[in-house]
Structure 1
Amino acid sequence: MRLVDWLAGASLLCAGVSVSAQEAATDAEGQRLAAAFGSREQVQQISISPDGSKVAMLMPAGKRGTRLVIGDRRTDEAPKSILASSGEPEQLTHCFWSTNQRIVCGIYSVASGSELLGFTRLVSLNSDGGGMKVLSARTSSRALAAMYDGGRLIDRLAEAEGGTVLMTRSFVPESTAGTLLANRTQGLGVELVNTTTLARKVVEQPRANAVDYVSDGHGSVRIMGIQSTRASGYDGNQISYSYRLPASRAWQPLSTLDLNSRAGFNPSAVDPDLNVAYGFDLNDGRKALYRVALDGSGSRELVVARPDVDVDGLLTIGRHSRVVGASFATDRREAVFFDPQLKALQGALKKALPHQPLVTFLDASADENQLLLLAGGDVEPGTYYVYDKRTRALEQVLPARPELANTVLAPVKAITFPATDGTPIPAYLTLPVGGAAKTVGAIVLPHGGPGSRDEWGFDWLSQFLAARGFAVLQPNFRGSAGYGDAWFQKNGFQSWRTAVGDVNDGGRWLVQQGIAKADKLAVLGWSYGGYAALQSAALDPALFKAIVAIAPVTDLDRLREESRLFTNFMLVDAFIGHGPHVREGSPAQNAARIQAPVLLFHGDLDRNVAVGESRFMADQLRGAGRKVDYVEFKGLDHYLNDSEARTRMLAQTDGFLRTSLKIDQ
């Protein structure tokens, strides 16, 4: 059975999602669309076996769980679920093939107490679901600290290696009382682990301040990163990288990366054939891809650079993570391939799939003849395919969002609008299907981060809003990443007046262009975007008539203190900075300036932005006599990865906007 046929015969997750009319405050069509767009992607992650015969897919299980599904491309048998996580709170995060019969999966969970602490583990199991074992090293009863980091794969090696992988390990010291066998070492090291027998061998001894190891994809660790520390025990702002010559165990200095300024070569991959490291460094204030020789010469070559945007993506493929190109985003994400075959193939696929121009190679069989890829676009949520180089056949595996198959999506257009000082601000404009005649209102939707940016393509949140008749503007305001240091400025918190000013100017532009009426204008954001939505009133209280903030930062000092007990505190402290901007740039400290009604959403297991920030914001707004509704989701983190929660959030947002903007149902 073809996988796409199997999915067509299965019941879709959105069919079982319902929201009460009181909670939704929207019409039946709004509830239907909220369920369709709120359902999680049917494929959350996917990989292909070394021989190319099977795929392993992480798919939704219930409202917030995840299941591992194995599909055999050679048979007519239905795909089989072999492992599941409840999402309460443990979650399967990724799965990769170790051999044709053995799979390695990552698990993430949160331990709640006085602090929310995340921990990870790696497990392995057979492709039929049997023989599951924990790959992450176990700590003994003598351990002096908990091991939160269960390690990460840095080299899958080859099928011929018998199912061994290279993975990092956090070594935890043990009490020496009453024993001579206690482990006295601590820090991050690397082990060679057999995914079937669990036989393990230390190949890189732990180092207290090690934070990174890079393999050559063939079993040899060639690069190590050591982070500086302060006398207080907090992390420093530099990572010093060292490398090894081929067949040598001695470390030699490679580069120093400054975490505050981004300056310095940051290695990402090693090409053993060329004996070089690929990585990123600044070039005229923008990130560019370089390669540095690992032969002792220190030779350095600029590979890909742009005068307008950062080159921020390294393209690799296959079990050996072979470097094949780089990517950057102008109006759209573009790729520069070093591999001529892949370059030609991507061009051919764009022609064959004209409505899915964003083509990403995700994985490959051991011989790289079977390529697993995702193709999508603004009006196409994405489809997974396997391409066979030998037969030139393109086989559809699964659509990413089958529940939207019968929903007409709105095209996304790259535009610019002028800021108050005349600076052109790049943005994306999504008009409802049917154009201005179908527009009932307009929403400015600033992205999260702030060290991030929006890109052209499918976005479930903006597409839902467009489906409900709203025009949506997504500005890449100054403070966004991707456009170089001058555009990023001091970051969206220290330079909040500029960043939020650009967001507000986007709202004014919508009115000036006749896309929205002044009384039908709202702002909505998630994370930093929620911060910008709330903080917009500090500059112009009367501009937006409704504000929706999802998991927002609301108080910069509170955000700082959330990191106090963690080693990265000084980095967070420097990022936020000190001075008048901390109070002036905190929405909760300026709640009295907000005139528009506010709707807040937050998960109580959010480790990115603590739930206390929304609770505090709601209290401050109520204390100032302002209108606020606050919805808290139990057991969910920053991303609200729950179909029922997302459905409720969309439906309630829709109803809130229509009521606040006085839009007829």
Structure 2
Amino acid sequence: MSFRKLIVAGLLAGVPVCATAAVKPLAEDAAAFGTREAASQVAMSPSGKKVVILVAGSGGTTAAKVFDLVTGSASTPVSSTGAGNSLRWCKFGSETVLVCNYGGIVADSAYGLIGYSRLVRVDVDGKNLQQLGQRKSFYDSGLRQVDGSIIDWLPGSGGAILMARDYVPEEGKTDTRISRKQRGLAVDRIDLKSVKSETIERPLPGINGYMTDGRGQVRLRFQVESAAGQLTGKTRLTYRPRGSSDWQPLGIYEDDNEASILPLAIEAQTDKLYFLRKLNGRQALYRMALNGSNDVELVAKNDLVDIDNVTRIGRGQKVIGYTYAEEDRHAAYFDPEFGGLTAKLGRALPNQPLIDFVDASEDGNSLLVFAGSDVLPGTYYFLDRTTKEMSPIADVRPKLVDRTLSPVKSIRYKARDGASIQAYLTIPASSSGKNLPAVVLPHGGPSARDEWGFDWLPQFLAARGYAVIQPNYRGSEGFGDQYKNVNAFKNWETAIGDVNDAVRHLVTEGIADKNRLAIVGWSYGGYAALQSAAVDPTLYKAIVAIAPVTDLALLKSESEGYTNSNLVKEFVGSGDHVRRGSPLRNASALKAPVLLVHGDLDINVGVQHSLQMESALKSSGSPVELLRYPELDHQLVDSNARVEMLTKIGELLGRTIGN
């Protein structure tokens, strides 16, 4: 047995087998689907001989585990408790050193809820844990929420990085000779063994980010505009030609501006910038020469959806393709070798068509590959391009390995105004597909979209016997400006109409029983769940709103005192739609029982939204329950909490629409 398969023994239970799908006890389903991903954020060492995996523990705990693929040894250099802090990722800075990011949300008596993020280095054996950002001082003149970011892993350096580092000056120190005076974002070269640093770009106020060519040269600079302490929504871009120290104007980025440039990557080999810019209302991929000529060429466009990113394998390597999502996600490759490799992997893994190259060794000969589908949550594989050997490393959700999951298919339905709306339909694997209890599950955002693939929440609902429809309502991201329809707060009537029309489509098609319908949503989806039921009080028999926006005026007022306040107010808008589009103001219209779920540390949507909604529903005599988590944020990244939430959802749906 190879040592790679020893990892499988710990994290990979096997491959799903065909079995008779049947509704299982609620407690079993809640545990199977509510438990967090066992393995995530997998990364490879420069030699390709080691991998690091974030492994979920009980509740919200997470451990970074390093596995040696040659010797079979393993270590756990760092972990997090999940209560107010979470380990987000770890990557190899060298063969013996990890760089890890952790962060969370804390309640501050002066500032309220504050999100923070920190970078540390740690030896793979767990020794020499050290902070990479500037250390906090009692005399700091302001908060440092984010201490910095890695902008270049400096391949070939043997263990150094370029870090965009935030510098905060000190105030009130009596000895001014030793007080810190630098302010702004700098670029520092840090030796990860000694943690000694060298300034590459001095700290400058007003600079918010940098981009390199992946080979150690800082080429692009971002400056977010503000006026009177408020962000304007514009980011000015400047660049530096190769070998020059002078910054030259490149353009601006501003959401919904046709001329906006959204930088994705700089390719050192060709001295070109890959970026997104609107073409006929959709994001297209362009390439610009950074030699001073600013020559631009169109690389790719899609007449249906936005291009959303580029693909490159290995640190500092060439861009090899781009990605986009139509009904399912696609990658198009410029590089014929990777196009051919993807085709071969598709044939080798015919049941796992969602294939992604996650990481690579420095020489590119060893690859980490992720593969999954709608009914396979996903597996990480090690691929040796020299020997053509591929071995599984870790299964994402071992608890679901022996479960027969429900297939997901893309459909289209007609909205009341005749518009064609794309959606995903999940039919319980054990069902006839006719006259079922059904749940509509609108996505969050609203500037987001659902995609084809595995999703634990709709799969839980399908396992309970419910047909699930996930509409990409107008207001969803990725389908172009016209479909985005400004946004789904200002034009909530269109978005909410599309949501309700989705479940009516299931009734018309004979898939759903019109007397057994429910709605479940998270974030904007929670808002949509409540508002959809307020618009049509007799349509649904149960409502579940997780971390929902309940009052558009409250959403705007929550931003007061923050630099994005004007942007939030502009996004939501002003006028009668704010009152009419707020579930809190229409609580008396809701008749079906409501389950609210919220974390106290939610800085996306404050817990007051659910507290006030609970109070309003109680005052109007509507049945309501609030499931509240004092130590969790918007995502509720805690297995115990998610299992409890799914249990409560299952109980509510069982009482109201059966299973």
Shorter-chain TM-score: which interval?
over 0.9
Matched residue type, 2:321: G
Task: Please name the residue that 2:345 is paired with.
Answer: 349
Residues 643 and 306 of structure 1: CA distance in aligned 2, closer, same or farther (over 3 Å): same
CA distance in 1, matches of 2:628, 2:154: 44
SS in 2 for 1:613: helix
Selected match of 1:462 from 443, 458, 461: 458
Contact 2:258/2:281 (<8 A) preserved: no
After TM superposition, the structure 1 = structure 2 runs for residues 498-577 of structure 1, keeping only pairs within 5 Å, are: 498-577=494-573
- SS at 1:44 equivalent: strand
Note if 1:283 corresponds to 2:279: yes
User: Residue in 1 aligned with 2:105?
Assistant: 110
Unpaired runs of 5+ residues, structure 1, are 13-26
SS at match of 2:515: helix
Mapped partners of 1:556, 1:321: distance in 2:
45
CA distance change for structure 1 residues 287 and 617 in 2, over 3 Å: closer, same or farther? Answer: same
Deviations 1:161-180 (A, max 9, x none): 23110111111122264313
Structure 1 contact 2–397 (Cα < 8 Å) conserved: no
1:11 Cα deviation after fit:
11
Match in the other structure for 2:645: 649
Tell me if the contact between 1:48 and 1:55 (Cα under 8 Å) persists in the aligned partners: yes
Report SS of the residue matched to 1:161. Answer: coil
Provide, for residues 606-636 of structure 1, a one-character-per-residue CA deviation record: whole Å limited to 9, x for no partner. Answer: 1111111111111111111111111001201
Equivalent position of 2:147 in the other structure: 150
- Which deviates the most, 332-341 or 416-425? 332-341
Give 1:50-69 correspondences, 5 Å limit: 50-69=46-65
Q: 1:329 aligns with which of 325, 328, 333?
A: 325
1:596/1:262 CA distance change after superposition, 3 Å: farther
Q: Which residue of 2 aligns with 1:80?
A: 75
The superposition leaves residues 303-342 of structure 1 with CA deviations (integer Å, 9 ceiling, x where unpaired) of 1111111111221221226422111111110111122211
Structure 2 vs 1, CA of residues 303 and 11 (structure 1 numbering), >3 Å: closer, same or farther?
Answer: closer
In the alignment, which residue of structure 2 is the partner of 1:213?
Answer: 210
| Alpha-carbon separation, structure 1, partners of 2:462 and 2:84 | 32
1:474 aligns with 2:462: no
Preserved contact between residue 413 and residue 429 of structure 1 (Cα < 8 Å): yes
User: Structure 1's 126 and 573: CA in aligned 2 closer, same or farther, altered over 3 A?
Assistant: same
Q: Would you say the 8 A contact 1:431–1:439 is kept in 2? A: no
Counterpart of 1:582 in structure 2 is: 578
Q: Which residue identity lines up with residue 186 of structure 2 in the other structure?
A: G
Equivalent position amino acid for 2:220 in 1? I
Contact 2:11/2:395 (8 A) holds in 1: no
Query: Larger deviation: 178-187 or 353-362?
Result: 178-187
Pick one of 70, 87, 91 that aligns with 2:86: 91
Secondary structure at the aligned position of 1:492 is classed as: coil
- 1:376 is aligned to 372
Q: Distance in 1 between matches of 2:359 and 2:114?
A: 31
| Farther-moved stretch of structure 1 (434-443 vs 507-516) | 434-443
> Which of 230, 233, 250 is 1:237 aligned to?
233
Structure 1 counterpart of 2:587, one-letter code: A
What's the RMSD between the two structures over aligned residues? Answer: 1.7
1:255-285 Cα offsets, whole Å, 9 max, x none, are 1111354741111210111111111110100
User: Cα–Cα, structure 1 residues 348 and 439, in superposed 2: closer, same or farther, change >3 Å?
Assistant: farther
* Counterpart-to-counterpart distance in 2, 1:434 and 1:244: 60
Q: How does 1:219-258 map to 2 (within 5 A)?
A: 219-231=216-228, 233-258=229-254
Partner deviation per Cα, 1:525-545 (whole Å, 9 max, x = no partner): 011101100000232111111
More displaced 10-residue stretch of structure 1: 33-42 or 167-176: 167-176
- 8 Å Cα contact 2:45/2:94 also seen in 1: yes
Residues 635 and 439 of structure 1: CA distance in aligned 2, closer, same or farther (over 3 Å): farther
Cα shift at 1:135: 1.1
Instruction: List per-residue Cα deviations over 1:119-141 (Å, max 9, x = no partner).
Output: 11111111111121111121333
CA distance 1:9–1:171, shift in 2 (3 Å) = closer
Asked if 1:202 is matched to 2:194, the reply is no
Show the counterpart of 2:386.
390
**Cα distance in structure 2, aligned partners of 1:120 and 1:463:** 32
In structure 1, distance between residues paired with 2:130 and 2:458: 41
**Contact in 2 for aligned 1:237/1:260 (Cα 8 Å):** no
Deviation at 1:343, TM superposition (A): 1.1
Match of 1:433, SS? coil
Name 1:629's counterpart in structure 2.
625
Q: Is the 8 A contact 2:435 2:510 kept in 1?
A: no
**Pairwise CA distance, 1:438:** 7.9
CA-to-aligned-CA distance 1:404-439 (integer Å, 9 cap, x gap):
011001110100010001111000000000333587
1:512, CA displacement in angstroms? Answer: 0.7
Q: How far has the Cα of 1:4 moved from its partner?
A: 4.7
Q: CA deviation at 1:72?
A: 0.9
Q: Among residues 122, 127, 133, which one is paired with 1:125 in the alignment? A: 122
Match of 1:192 among 186, 189, 192: 189
Q: 1:100 aligns with which of 95, 112, 130?
A: 95
Decide whether aligned partners of structure 1 residues 276 and 295 sit closer, same or farther in structure 2, where only a CA change above 3 A counts: same
2:166 corresponds to: 170
Relative to structure 1, the CA distance from residue 117 to residue 55 in structure 2 (aligned partners, 3 Å threshold; closer, same or farther) is same
**Comparing 142-151 with 525-534, which one deviates more in the overlay?**
142-151
Aligned to 2:17: none
Conservation of the 8 A alpha-carbon contact between 1:4 and 1:399: no
Q: Is 2:484 the counterpart of 1:488? A: yes
- 2:138 maps to 141
What secondary structure sits across from 1:235 in the alignment?
strand
Q: Give identity over the alignment, percent.
A: 42
> TM-score by structure 2 length?
0.95
- The alpha-carbon deviation at position 651 of structure 1 amounts to 1.3
Q: Distance in 2 between matches of 1:435 and 1:174?
A: 65
Are residues 322 and 94 of structure 1, via their aligned partners in 2, closer, same or farther at CA, if it must alter by over 3 Å? Answer: farther
- The answer to whether the 8 Å contact 1:215/1:270 transfers is yes
> Partner residue of 1:605?
601
- The one-character-per-residue Cα deviations of 1:425-471 (angstroms, maximum 9, x if unpaired) are 00000000033358741000000100100000000000111111000
Q: Using the alignment, how far apart are the partners of 2:36 and 2:258 within structure 1? A: 34
Contact 2:87–2:100, Cα closer than 8 Å, also in 1? yes
Q: Provide the rounded CA distance (Å) in 2 between the counterparts of 1:206 and 1:288.
A: 34
Report the Cα offset of residue 54 of structure 1.
Answer: 0.4
Deviations 1:378-402 (A, max 9, x none): 0110000011111111111011111
Judged with a 3 Å threshold, the aligned counterparts in structure 2 of structure 1 residues 258 and 28 are, in CA distance, closer, same or farther, namely closer
Residue 183 and residue 260 in structure 1: after superposition, are their counterparts in 2 closer, same or farther (change >3 A)? Answer: farther
Residue in 1 that maps onto 2:19: none
Amino acid at match of 2:282: R
* Aligned mates of 2:249, 2:413 — CA distance in 1: 46
What code does the residue aligned with 1:169 have?
A: R
Partner-residue secondary structure (3-state), 1:520: strand
Counterpart AA for 2:624: V
Number of residue pairs aligned between Structure 1 and Structure 2? 646
State the shift of 1:557 in Å: 1.4
The residue aligned with 1:20 is none
User: Alpha carbons of 1:132 and 1:378: their partners in 2 closer, same or farther (altered >3 Å)?
Assistant: same
1:394-409 equivalence runs, <5 A: 394-409=390-405
Counterpart check, 1:304 vs 2:300: yes
